[in-house]
């Protein structure tokens, strides 16, 4: 009998061979750990919808950051939980406000740990929108002026990278111009370039204490749109972004793959709070093996084209290995 077919199983025969032939590797160099820092808080506060994630009290940030750096994490993304919210989110560009303070504290505690500043307003506005609301509408051009101010304050506080996430048109161009005018030509921008109006941000909004009523559909993208997502990322590249991002990650691997084909820039993907919660709660119910599912999803995101992955599982991976 001479059947002609490929013996693909030959290459799967032993653990050593399987490891040697793995096409995708993930390491701590690929991960960014998002953290929540709350002012006026005395102790670490668990987030019910994100088991295993705590809000870090501002006064214990130094201790928390040292642990994160010691675990081998290379970069954190900071989110402030503000007690000084107003209409425009002005605390975020106050040089003595929470955003500037937490950046300074991180850099003082662990100078080699990259600090990325999420650049938006929703954690600092009384209405919870990602910008200035005028006549019930989020005003694009007033918002990008404020984003530019916030970015300069973050840069002066010591941020290593600026990550605009408000999905305003022209936000990358406005921030690049303001940073350059402040003598910060060398500071990179990682744009949340293709960010969808996703139902997967629910746990984050609870975590960050967002006051939002309504939704963000006039600025974040329709989850059903792929071509438009490519336009968004290409536009941010043209405006001067140094790194692009797709957010959320798992439901948008097609977008990630297509941006990877169309751009030579480094590319990030954000495994968001709802993606984290889905895995955590399913594992807590005994339905899936958490450690294996985490590695499968992170590996899949990398395989689809991400150079960097933002994930709340970063500390677990740092502790347990890959
Ligand atoms: C705010 C922001 C959001 C997230 C990161 N930055 C939420 C939103 O747009 O409502 C979501 C992160 C997550 O869900 O983990 N601009
Ligand atoms: Zn926002």
204-238 pLDDT per residue, tens: 988 887 879 899 999 999 999 999 999 999 999 99
For tokens 């084209």, the residue is 305
Q: Tell whether 5 is covered by a domain.
A: no
Q: Which of 240, 204, 243, 238 is nearest to 220 (CA)?
A: 204
SS (H, E, C) 270-292: EECHHHHHHHHHHHHCCCCCHHH
* DSSP 3-state of 252: helix
Q: Which of 28, 54, 201, 184 is nearest to 114 (CA)?
A: 28
Cα(120) to centroid(ligand 2), Å: 5
Q: Which of 293, 249, 290 is nearest to 271 (CA)?
A: 249
Q: What is the pLDDT of residues 26-83, one digit of tens each?
A: 999 999 999 999 999 999 999 999 999 999 999 999 999 999 999 999 999 999 999 9
CA separation (Å) from 312 to 73, 135, 229? Answer: 12, 36, 24
Q: Tell whether 79 is covered by a domain.
A: yes
One DSSP character per residue, 29-56 reads: GGEEEEEEEETT--S-EE-TTSTT-EEE
Q: Tell whether 107 is covered by a domain.
A: yes
Q: Tell whether 239 is covered by a domain.
A: yes
Q: Tell whether 163 is covered by a domain.
A: yes
Q: What is the pLDDT of residue 2?
A: 85
Q: Tell whether 10 is covered by a domain.
A: no
Domain that holds residue 302: 25-320
Phi, psi of 188 (to 5 degrees): -80, 155
Determine if ligand 1 sits within 6 Å of the CB of residue 201.
yes
How many other C-beta atoms are found inside a 10 Å radius of the C-beta of residue 306? 27
Q: What is the pLDDT of residue 210?
A: 81
Cα(168) to centroid(ligand 2), Å: 10
* pTM (two decimals): 0.97
Q: Which of 97, 102, 94 is nearest to 65 (CA)?
A: 102
Q: Tell whether 7 is covered by a domain.
A: no
Determine if ligand 1 sits within 6 Å of the CB of residue 130.
yes
> Of all atoms in ligand 1, which is nearest to the CA of residue 166?
16
State how many domains the chain has.
1
> Of all atoms in ligand 1, which is nearest to the CA of residue 118?
6
Cα(5) to centroid(ligand 1), Å: 49
Q: What is the pLDDT of residues 285-322, one digit of tens each?
A: 999 999 999 999 999 999 999 999 999 999 999 999 99
Task: Tell me the CATH number at 68.
Answer: 3.20.20.70
* Integer Cα distance of 194 and 120 in angstroms: 15
Nearest ligand by distance to the CA of 221: 1
Alpha helices in 158-188 (DSSP H): 171-181
Return left, alpha or beta for 195; rule: phi > 0 is left, psi -120 to 50 is alpha, else beta.
beta
> Catalytic residue positions?
195, 247
> Of all atoms in ligand 1, which is nearest to the CA of residue 220?
9
Q: What is the pLDDT of residue 207?
A: 83
Q: Tell whether 19 is covered by a domain.
A: no
């Amino acid at each position: 009998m001479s059947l002609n077919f490929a013996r693909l199983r030959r290459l799967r025969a032993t653990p050593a061979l399987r490891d040697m032939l793995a096409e995708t590797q993930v390491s701590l160099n690929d991960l960014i750990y998002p953290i929540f820092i709350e002012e006026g808080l005395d102790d670490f506060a668990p987030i019910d919808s994100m088991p295993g994630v705590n809000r870090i009290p501002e006064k214990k940030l130094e201790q928390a950051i040292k642990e994160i750096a010691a675990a081998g994490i290379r970069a954190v993304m900071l989110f402030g939980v503000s007690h000084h919210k107003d209409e425009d989110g002005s605390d975020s560009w106050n040089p003595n406000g929470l955003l500037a303070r937490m950046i300074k504290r991180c850099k003082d505690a662990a100078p080699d740990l990259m600090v990325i500043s999420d650049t938006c307003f929703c954690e600092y506005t009384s209405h919870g929108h990602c910008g200035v609301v005028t006549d019930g509408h989020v005003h694009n051009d007033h918002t990008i002026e404020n984003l530019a101010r916030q970015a300069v304050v973050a840069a002066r506080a010591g941020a290593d990278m600026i990550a605009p996430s408000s999905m305003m048109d022209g936000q990358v161009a406005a921030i690049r111009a303001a940073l350059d005018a402040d003598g910060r030509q060398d500071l990179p921008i990682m744009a949340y370039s293709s960010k969808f109006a996703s139902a997967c941000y629910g746990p984050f909004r609870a975590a960050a204490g967002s006051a939002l009523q309504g939704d963000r559909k006039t600025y974040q993208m329709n989850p059903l749109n792929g071509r438009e997502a490519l336009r968004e990322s290409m536009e941010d590249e043209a405006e001067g972004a140094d790194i692009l991002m797709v957010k959320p990650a798992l439901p948008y691997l097609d977008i990630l793959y297509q941006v990877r084909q169309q751009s030579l820039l480094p590319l990030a993907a954000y495994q968001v709070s709802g993606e984290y919660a889905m895995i955590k709660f399913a594992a807590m119910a005994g339905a899936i093996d958490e450690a294996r599912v985490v590695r499968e999803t992170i590996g899949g995101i990398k395989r689809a084209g991400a150079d960097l992955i933002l994930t709340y599982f970063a500390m677990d991976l740092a502790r347990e290995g890959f």
